[in-house]
């Protein structure tokens, strides 16, 4: 443990924006000090409500999140935002750069917005997003919004990182049925039809409704509402904030008339998230051990070359690497 | 090694459709016989050209792939298709169910189409897709198309699985600039503007062109072409097939007037893909070792409970698990 990390942790816990920014950079870069920081703050997390927001590009999610921030602030709640920007797997640089958005809330210490780039390696996005949310949680933000673009594997990560999943769609994006088919029906806790002043909004609502009517919802089970918003004017945003609260009450068993089947949805989700995260961390630490303590310099490259030349198959290579790694390098019998 | 796997491998190598189907099911289900099969066929792979196709839902990719199959068949080439369908992380079931598409080519033994569900766990999609492509490659398919929906993390997987990445967009999907910002500029080897008969097609082409003009392309470097197609009528599909061949010639160093900088792009990509795949397999095998040979029954659950209760942080837990696992359970000193 270094002497700087506890100080940084204390400053994060006090809500210092510069400390929050520094802490998120550490976890984003996979700096060992980032792991140390998470260790130090972890016991003080779990209080924030994590809101995941996804949908296809062009659905207006950024503007909607901006309006939601304003609504939550009006209610006196503090807000953290992690905007996950898909970027190239090659450069790894941040892209969307929400400079305009940051300016809007720059003077408000109750709001912290951070853009993060998609990491081009296994599990990097989920890990960095989850740690950044922990930092904002520890810093005392009441609500942490995790915003991402896309309707593919990203959703799985969001489901595993957030307490609620909001799927935002817009009218006129080609074949609405396609969009609904693409696996998003089952992850949404709330549907938002944004740009609801556009032609086709009611048709899109009907298409979602038709799909929902095919699902079976048990007694007391949450049925995803479909909300219409126009983020540019702010129309429907207070209703969205109310729906998020209603879901939270329901999922945490505080809703007045809910059946026992719905109890502890939030706790169950958080537990699944915790297990996923633990497994992912274990895999990463093991690869670190393998590369630093088992393999000779350049050895992995030779193996990869032999696989490329079809002299060695990946399953045999992987089995060999694991078998060698699970022997301690300072095993007394081999010393 | 079982006695059935070699037989299955031989049947796959002979191109038997039922064996191909069975083999893909094995790798999709992570059956140990699937790993055995990949071992047996691996030396006979590497010949097929892998075409990755992505884009937002509703872009008409399925129809486009159908037309591309017909064009390639007209040229006498055999085709395999792995259609990756995003589905819920909870049910894991297949969704899009390309029954209509399969019927179109059902009588043609030169075509094999398989839908796969997105696996809800770490790296599952990339692994299953990659193995399915290996099976089709070993079965002698000249071209293997890997088709997926979404513009998020999926793309990264596609880049790592395919030899070429084709990004399909359509006019009128809201804010075109948003779509282009979403990290897809850098992964595309070919852009397709589908539904090109729609209003706004030329505007979308101009927007992509404007973005491309901001990139720097070195001497002899591939500059992604922008093709207009109308998949429903088949317009532009033969040009797409020609562009794929042009990229292949370029990337494999067979283009007549290419600079040395472009040489072996394909070999370099395949090497990156091989390394990624090896790392992912190692992580999976290690987790298997940890769960079957190190942890007591229910031990992981207790740990997850303690993390959920904030009594234990995930970094400390993961470090503990790895440290225990890298000691051999039958270490002579602890026996």
Per-residue model confidence as pLDDT tens digits over A53-76: 887 767 888 889 999 999 999 999
Closest CA relative to residue A48, chosen from A138, A128, A116, A124: A138
Residue A274 is predicted with a pLDDT of 87
Contact B33, B145 (CB under 8 A): no
Q: Measured between beta carbons, which residues in chain A are less than 8 angstroms from residue B280? A: 122
Q: Averaged over B234-253, what is the pLDDT?
A: 94
ipTM of the complex: 0.79
Task: Please say if the pLDDT value at position A93 is more than 70.
Answer: no
Q: What is the pLDDT of residue B263?
A: 47
CATH topology of domain B46-265: Rossmann fold (3.40.50)
Binned at pLDDT 50, 70 and 90, residue A334 comes out as: very low
Nearest CA-CA distance, residue A108 and chain B, Å: 27
Tell me, what's the pLDDT at B124? Answer: 66
pLDDT at B329: 46
Average pLDDT, chain B: 81
Between chains, do A283 and B122 touch, taking CB under 8 Å as contact? Answer: yes
Inter-chain residue contact A181 with B332, CB threshold 8 Å:
no
CATH T-level fold of A45-264: Rossmann fold (3.40.50)
Three-class secondary structure of residue A262 per DSSP: helix
To the nearest whole Å, the CA of B249 is away from the closest chain A CA by 19
The model's confidence at residue A207, banded by pLDDT at 50, 70 and 90, is: confident
For B36, the token pair is 């055995």
Confidence of residue B172 (pLDDT cuts 50, 70, 90): confident
Inspect the interface and report whether the beta carbons of A326 and B46 lie closer than 8 Å: no
Cross-chain residue pair B308–A271, CB shorter than 8 Å: yes
On the CB side of A20, how many CA atoms lie within 13 Å of its CA? 26
Scanning B67-106 for CB atoms below 8 A from A yields: 85-91, 95-96
Q: Tell me whether residues B333 and A333 touch, CB distance under 8 A.
A: yes
- Residue A327 and residue B322: Cβ atoms within 8 Å? no
pLDDT > 70: what percent of chain B?
Answer: 76
Which 104-163 residues of chain A touch chain B by CB within 8 A? 118, 120-123, 125, 148-157, 159-160
Per-residue pLDDT, averaged over A126-143, amounts to 92
pTM above 0.80, yes or no: no
Q: What does the pLDDT read at residue A143?
A: 98
Instruction: Tell me where in chain A the CATH 3.40.50.300 domain(s) lie.
Output: 45-264
Under a CB-based contact definition with an 8 Å cutoff, are residues B2 and B8 in contact? Answer: no
State residue B144's pLDDT score: 96
Region(s) of chain B under CATH 3.40.50.300: 46-265
Write the pLDDT tens digit of every residue in A147-187. Answer: 876 555 555 566 668 899 998 888 876 545 445 545 566 77
Instruction: Report residue B2's pLDDT band, with 50, 70 and 90 as the boundaries.
Output: low
Q: By mean pLDDT, which of A12-16, A24-28, A74-78, B178-182 is the weakest? A: B178-182
Identify the sign of the CA torsion A7, A10, A14, A20: positive
Residue A333: pLDDT band (50, 70, 90) is: very low
Q: Which residue of A has its CA nearest to B194?
A: A174
The larger pLDDT score, comparing residue B273 to residue B90, is at B273
C-alpha separations of B269 from A88, B187, B263, B264, B265 in Å: 15, 12, 12, 8, 6
Question: Contact B313/A60, CB-based, under 8 Å?
Answer: no
Rounded mean pLDDT of A10-19? Answer: 95
Q: How many angstroms separate the CA atoms of A161 and B316, rounded? A: 20
| Confidence (pLDDT) at A4 | 52
């Amino acid at each position: 443990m270094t002497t700087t990390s506890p100080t940084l942790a204390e400053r994060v816990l006090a809500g210092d924006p510069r400390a929050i920014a520094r802490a998120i950079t550490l976890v984003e870069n996979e700096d060992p000090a980032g792991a140390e920081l998470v260790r130090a703050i972890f016991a003080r997390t779990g209080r924030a409500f994590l809101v995941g927001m996804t949908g296809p590009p062009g659905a207006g999610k950024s503007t909607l999140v901006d309006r939601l921030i304003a609504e939550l602030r009006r209610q006196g709640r503090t807000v953290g935002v992690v905007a996950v920007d898909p970027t190239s797997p090659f450069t790894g640089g941040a892209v969307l750069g929400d400079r305009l958005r940051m300016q809007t809330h720059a003077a408000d210490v109750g709001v912290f917005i951070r853009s993060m780039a998609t990491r081009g390696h296994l599990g990097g996005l989920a890990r960095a997003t989850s740690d950044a949310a922990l930092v904002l949680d520890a810093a005392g933000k009441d609500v942490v919004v995790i915003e991402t673009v896309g309707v593919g594997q990203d959703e799985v990560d969001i489901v595993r990182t957030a307490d609620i999943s909001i799927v935002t769609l817009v009218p006129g994006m080609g074949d609405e049925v396609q969009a609904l088919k693409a696996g998003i029906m089952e992850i949404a806790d709330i549907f938002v039809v944004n740009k609801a002043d556009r032609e086709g909004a009611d048709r899109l609502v009907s298409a979602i409704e038709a799909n929902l009517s095919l699902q079976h919802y048990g007694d007391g089970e949450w049925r995803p509402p479909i909300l219409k918003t126009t983020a540019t004017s702010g129309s429907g945003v207070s209703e969205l904030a109310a729906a998020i609260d209603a879901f939270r009450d329901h999922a945490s068993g505080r809703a007045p008339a809910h059946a026992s089947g719905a109890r502890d949805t939030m706790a169950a989700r958080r537990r699944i998230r915790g297990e996923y995260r633990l497994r992912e961390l274990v895999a990463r630490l093991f690869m670190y051990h393998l590369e630093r303590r088992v393999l000779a310099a350049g050895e992995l490259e030779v193996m990869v070359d032999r696989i490329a030349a079809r002299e060695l198959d990946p399953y045999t290579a992987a089995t060999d690497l694991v078998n060698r790694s699970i022997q301690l390098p300072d095993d007394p019998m081999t010393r």
